[in-house]
A and B are shown apart, each in its own frame.
Chain A
Amino acid sequence: MRYYGNKVYFKILFFGTALAGKTTSLRWLYSNVIPRDMKMTSEIKSIETSFGQTLLFDFTPIQISPHIVVRLFTATGQDYYLSTRRMLFEDADGIFFVVDCQKKELEHNREFVVEFNRYLDGSEKLRRSEIIILYNKIDLEDTYPARELGRLLNLEMYPGYEVSALKGINLRESFIVMVRRLLERLEQEARP
């Protein structure tokens, strides 16, 4: 978290493989969970490259109280933009790791778990961040249940939700848990 002027800023990052559902999750939350008066911009800003319009990242800030701003980012899943992804991890207070539950995506997910662990290993600050796993596409055929996939990916130590980003299943709940944790941390920090 960062303090500027009379505000506290939190950063929440959606991370995961390409097409795991990061942008869909953020868009669903923006449309269905964030009250209009909290939205600081009229839309989610998407930054794309010139080659084939590959997404670099999405961004939207929300003001949840007069003194608290939460900045929501999605990190690109394209490997070409690995450096951009690494940069987005810096100073993240909360991370939603979006995992594609489809069986065929297991290896791809594993690669991202390796990358994720590398970031955590390299940053004490990041290890203290709030991490929630979103087991997405649970409504599709041929998927792993969250518990099994968590075990296969060695992500069981983090709280997780079975979600459908497309239908919004469990997204609200997981978002509320994330914000609650960040606010409780802020409250603790402010406590004399």
Chain B
Amino acid sequence: MANIKDIIDGIMKRVPEVVGVILIDIDGIPIEVAGRFDMKPEDLGALLSACYNSYAQVGTELMQKLESIIVEYGDLKLCQNRMPRGLLTIIAGKNAHIGMIRLEAKRAIDVLTKMMQDTMEMRTEMVKEMKFRMPDSRGIADILSRFEKEGS
């Protein structure tokens, strides 16, 4: 069964002009990244989220919910699409056909939305079952002691 990574990689394979695809949560946390960026995924996620949210303000003024944005620069094109729990951004070269990218985004969103919902449920289960390694009191003390020692 395909996972989030497969879906994202699939877009890059089908549209050669696409140079990167990034799926972030609405707050900018990178969930899945494909392609090469000259920024760390964390920075990129924060940037794309802030970017999208500032456009959302314009939509709010029109009393409309923002669905997608397309930005074309001299050297690249960017297509951001809202999802119930995140934001899918496709970055393509300047010669990419924007209609094709829109179509890819639309297809991917339907699948990813369902997939992210499943993942969230699985994660909740994992937390319950303690499969995440949560820090105990000693773990917390260790982390904090590093802040105490650093530079002092």
Contacts and interface: CB of A to CB of B under 8 A. Distances in A.
Contact between chain A and chain B defined by CB under 8 Å: yes
Q: Which of A9, A69, A176, A183 has the most CB of B within 10 A?
A: A183
A172 interface: yes
B50 A179 contact: no
A71 B46 contact: yes
Contact of B53 (A5, A61, A87): A87
Contact of B135 (A33, A38, A40, A187): A187
Tell me the interface secondary structure of chain B in the complex.
helix
A167 interface: no
B144 A176 contact: yes
A34 interface: yes
B6 interface: no
Contact of A172 (B53, B127, B148): B148
Tell me the interface secondary structure of chain A in the complex.
mixed
A31 B133 CA distance: 28
A64 B27 contact: no
A68 B135 contact: yes
How many A residues are at the interface, by size bracket? 35 or more
Contacts of B57: 83-84, 87
Nearest to A36: B150
A8 B127 CA distance: 10
A176 B132 contact: no
B152 interface: yes
Contact of B25 (A4, A6, A67, A84): A4
B143 A65 contact: yes
A114 interface: no
B120 to A, nearest CB: 8
Nearest to A177: B144
Interface of A: 2-6, 8-9, 11, 31-35, 38, 40-41, 45, 47, 56-57, 59, 61, 64-69, 71, 73, 83-84, 87, 90-91, 172, 175-176, 179-180, 183-184, 186-187, 189-190, 192
28 contacts: A2-B29, A3-B124, A3-B127, A4-B25, A4-B29, A4-B123, A9-B27, A31-B151, A33-B150, A33-B151, A35-B150, A41-B40, A41-B42, A45-B47, A56-B50, A69-B42, A71-B29, A71-B46, A84-B57, A87-B53, A172-B147, A179-B143, A179-B147, A183-B140, A187-B134, A187-B136, A187-B137, A187-B140
